[in-house]
Amino acid sequence: MFSPAQVEQPISATDAVKAIQEYAALRTQGGRVYGISFDSRSGQNRLCLFRQGEAISLLPSAFSVRSRVHEYGGGGWCLSNSNAFFVNDSDQQVWCLSLEEGVVRRLTDLPDSRFADLVFDACRQRLIAICETHQSDAEKPVNRLVSIGGDGRLRVLAEGADFYASPTLSPDGSQLAWVEWNHPNQPWTYTRLYLAALTENGHSMDCREVSDCVGAWAQPRFSPEGELHVVIDRQNWWRIERFNGVSFTPLPGDEPADTEFTTAPWQFGIATYGWDDAGQLYAIGQHQGYSGLFRHAGDRWQRLHLDVPATRLHSLTLADDKICCIAEYSSRCPAVLCLYGEVGSATLFSDALYGGAVPDYPVTNPEPGATPLQPSGAVPYFLYRPDASGVTPLPLVIYTHGGPTAATAPTFKPGIQFWTQRGFMIADINYRGSTGYGRDYRMQLEGQWGVADVEDVIAVALDLIERQLADPAAIFIRGNSAGGFTTLSALTKSKLFTGGASLYGVSDPARLNEVTHKFESHYLHWLIGDPIVHAMRYDQRSPLNNAERISAPVIFFQGERDRVVLPEQTRLMAERLSAKGLSVESHFFDDEAHGFRKAENQAQVLEQELAFYLQLLRQSVRNK
């Protein structure tokens, strides 16, 4: 019986899933650090107080902090002096938690509306938020920028645009800035930055657009002195600039080369820069897939070093003499960190408030790689090579991330360790369109989805085969959501692959255009083209319409509650492949939506995908 070489006691799928830890949305107040901890057992987001090895859940178990605005949510909670305001997943309403008494009360009662990007307006004792209203008689939801009073009543601050994001208040509460955009744009292609004055009673006035170039404006922030800053990809890279009252200019000093200070805002609430109590700016930058922490003081940028190097940093928050963030590592679990150091020092020491455990087994570390390819120059990826086998070539699994304008990072992923401990090599690819490599690289996917990304994954696979690292008879490809489309598209265009796995993947982009949610309802106009003008493109690139070209077996995983990629797509694709005699498996989960959240379901995916691949490898050996 054929089986890839593996360690003596590889981790089980259940243990691999148990090791998944996710933290988000940190806030600090009164010397305390709060944030969201994802509970994989229940699939819930817990609001927690983090302190020295403890994550103390602050809400009853019936609550889960999660916004569903844009379906992807984010920005689901904020702090006031004595309260935490949060969006509850089950009803999408804003609730208030008294931090002193632990009492929870409902603030809004608008069943047709969802909320996100909560900001507390201390001057007026109210919230500012994004409101998305779903009405049965409206074709699409309506998005507005609103305030929410202590009585739960809404006041519209801005409306008319298709989307709003990132409201931010000046320190004295007199100004409000935000980002907005219209279809067919996405927040990583073209947005606009607006600034308004607020009256004493909170009305917005003198509203004006202050964006001074065409680009993707993101994360407006006011400095402690009241100067408006923003991240803009004016010259390829997302950089921080400062408003002088007329236009924006880069911060003084030589900027870190080829570094981006934000990522594609698929979710609300991204926080990559801010100021400490001394007025120094700190920022998280991305360079070639790796995170770095930078400080800007005076006329100088300085890269800081952590005593325990991390590969990805996010959710930066600065207050009360604390610099806090979430750190992800290549060989240990994520941690909630407090950072400190001597004045002027380039080294910061990390105090792990929670998380950061080192696995009790050897971990396969990622190796950065790049496959030369014109015109993109090179396709970056992270290679995970198992150490146990001592032989090459190895069975290869190509990972295609979702998005597709997202990115993968070289962080500890227990699911990848599950594969490497069983002798599989993993290539986790940032194909063209991925973020973190500049606007030019991101924009190469415009009109080229299903072409450029497919060329990239095939090029990486061929490169690893040519280098005799990958076994040409054991090449698999897997992807979730948009990565599922890349996976299925690659299977239609190449006989290279032994098998594939699609996790809630897009198989019919034309149908997706018709039924998907508002946030992405024009996304494919950018990725492929106008569905009427470029109808032939949709037909040519549809895995469903080209199912007869697929010769490799495929396994499908799909949530029945998915409102992004509807289950009907997966069913039809599986039926079409099965009808032509291919080996096909389909697994549908009644309790999952877009992205599997429950531990038992995630473990089931790993076990069934492994069994599927091993069966194909055994068949390959028998057929030789």
Query: Do residues 488 and 556 touch, judged by C-beta distance below 8 A?
Result: no
Yes or no: say if 141 and 132 are a contact pair by the CB < 8 Å rule.
Answer: yes
Strand order in the sheet with 204-209: 163-169, 175-181, 192-198, 204-209
Taking Cα atoms as reference points, which of 115, 78, 111 lies closest to residue 94?
115
CA distance 316 to 98: 24
Q: By 3-state DSSP, what share of the chain in percent is helix, strand and coil, each rounded to 5?
A: 15, 40, 45
Q: Does the pLDDT value for residue 390 go beyond 70?
A: no
For residues 44-65, average pLDDT: 95
pLDDT band at 293 (very low <50, low <70, confident <90, very high): very high
Measure the CA–CA gap between 255 and 250, rounded to whole angstroms: 9
**Residue 226 pLDDT exceeds 70:** yes
pLDDT band at 565 (very low <50, low <70, confident <90, very high): confident
pTM: 0.94
Spatial separation of the C-alpha atoms in residues 201 and 622, rounded to whole Å: 77
Whole-number Å distance between alpha carbons of 24 and 75? 10
Q: Among all chains, which residue has been given the structure tokens 């994004």?
A: 130
Summary mean pLDDT of the chain: 94
The tens digit of pLDDT for each residue in 56-66 reads 999 999 999 99
- Structure confidence at residue 3 (pLDDT): 57
Q: Name the band, by pLDDT with cuts 50, 70 and 90, for residue 620.
A: confident
Q: Each residue of 466-506: pLDDT tens digit?
A: 999 999 999 999 999 999 999 999 999 999 999 999 999 99
Round to whole Å and give the CA distance between 203 and 617.
66
Contact between residue 217 and residue 209 where contact means Cβ atoms under 8 Å apart: no
Residue 376 has pLDDT above 90, yes or no: no
SS (H, E, C) 488-532: HHHHHHCCCCCEEEEECCCCCHHHHHHHCCHHHCCHHHHHCCCCC
Q: Lowest mean pLDDT: which of 181-185, 536-540, 565-569? A: 565-569
Instruction: For CA atoms 522, 528, 530, 532, give the dihedral sign.
Output: negative
CATH level 3 topology of 360-623 = Rossmann fold (3.40.50)
**Residue range(s) in the chain whose domain bears CATH number 3.40.50.1820:** 360-623
Share of the chain above pLDDT 90, in %: 85
Q: Give CA–CA dist 489/472, Å, rounded.
A: 19
